[in-house]
Structure 1
């Protein structure tokens, strides 16, 4: 993240404005769209960060990209960022907006990484188990990493629970490397 303080302040201002206007859900959807756009289309991020492209040209390009896809509040916010020369921070601001939205709506993000994709029934069971331990609404994010071999890795609220076979194998490898009985034999 280039400037987390700047992103936090702009995101807070947008959260406050959207709440005041009763458009918080629509603006959140727009910010999720912008996050997805910046992840899937690196050319947009390059455009936002380019010092060669003039601000009025950036405004035209962004207006063409977002036309009919985002709320008027979000469009005005993007225009303000371009005018102030802060358009390069748009991906970070969108990410920070989502974090502040989750705090405001009492939503906790949980990421589960497994070796194989999980079916819907197992995901629902995991979601209810995690939600039982907290008063927050849980937003479950899944990922697949074949290197885990089996088991899962659960990340929530800056906590990591690693119940993967890969971690177990690494622990065994470490125990063999630090075998205290081998030096005693010599």
Structure 2
């Protein structure tokens, strides 16, 4: 069950504590790892959310997975979540931590989707253009969708710029569907 308020509060507490301890980047890397783990391994998420598995067993499982991979602060935070019965919210808390970290550091996520893979030089130019129009640092994510046929789709936190051939074709299709002269030709 999603609980954005809970995730926000725990993430804010962790960000404050990690900032106070000077481990903001280390915990951010740990949260990236936890986010990736929850995306690629649904069994771990199922274990965390299972009401049948005892908290002590969950603690052992998480310790086996995380001990050598995360910082002591993150490990203590995960232990706290298990003790409070909030371990099922760990993936959501990790996502919220990363969002708050990006806000704190002035990082804006931008996703560009193209029909074919884009050259690194072109991505650098796009990143420079996006940073020039904003006071934030840009974190560029790429995706490939062959259905676009050509062009690109650029997504930011609050804007979508669709310059794809697929959108152009759909616009033309709508124009022909609304054309009053076509039905009279039958």
TM-score, length of structure 2 as denominator length: 0.97
* Structure 1 residue 185, shift from structure 2 partner: 6.5
What secondary structure sits across from 1:175 in the alignment?
Answer: helix
Other-structure match for 1:124: 124
Give distance in 1, aligned partners of 2:39 and 2:46.
12
* Structure 1 residue 120, shift from structure 2 partner: 0.6
What secondary structure sits across from 2:154 in the alignment?
Answer: strand
Uncovered stretches (5+) of structure 2, i.e. residues with no partner: none
Give distance in 2, aligned partners of 1:112 and 1:149.
14
Instruction: Answer yes or no: is 1:79 the counterpart of 2:79.
Output: yes
Other-structure match for 1:99: 99
Alignment of 1:82-161 (within 5 A): 82-161=82-161
* Structure 1 residue 180, shift from structure 2 partner: 2.2
Give distance in 2, aligned partners of 1:183 and 1:143.
40
* Structure 1 residue 67, shift from structure 2 partner: 1.4
Other-structure match for 1:13: 13
Give distance in 2, aligned partners of 1:156 and 1:58.
37
Other-structure match for 1:23: 23
* Structure 1 residue 119, shift from structure 2 partner: 1.2
Give distance in 2, aligned partners of 1:144 and 1:56.
43
Give distance in 2, aligned partners of 1:123 and 1:183.
46
Give distance in 1, aligned partners of 2:139 and 2:60.
35
Runs of 4+ in 1 over 6 A off after TM superposition: none
What secondary structure sits across from 2:131 in the alignment?
Answer: helix
* Structure 1 residue 183, shift from structure 2 partner: 5.1
Uncovered stretches (5+) of structure 1, i.e. residues with no partner: none
Deviations 1:63-95 (A, max 9, x none): 000011000000000000001000000000000
What secondary structure sits across from 1:111 in the alignment?
Answer: strand
Task: Give RMSD over aligned pairs.
Answer: 1.2
Deviations 1:97-149 (A, max 9, x none): 00000000010110000111111101000000100001111000011111111
What secondary structure sits across from 1:52 in the alignment?
Answer: coil
Give distance in 2, aligned partners of 1:50 and 1:91.
14
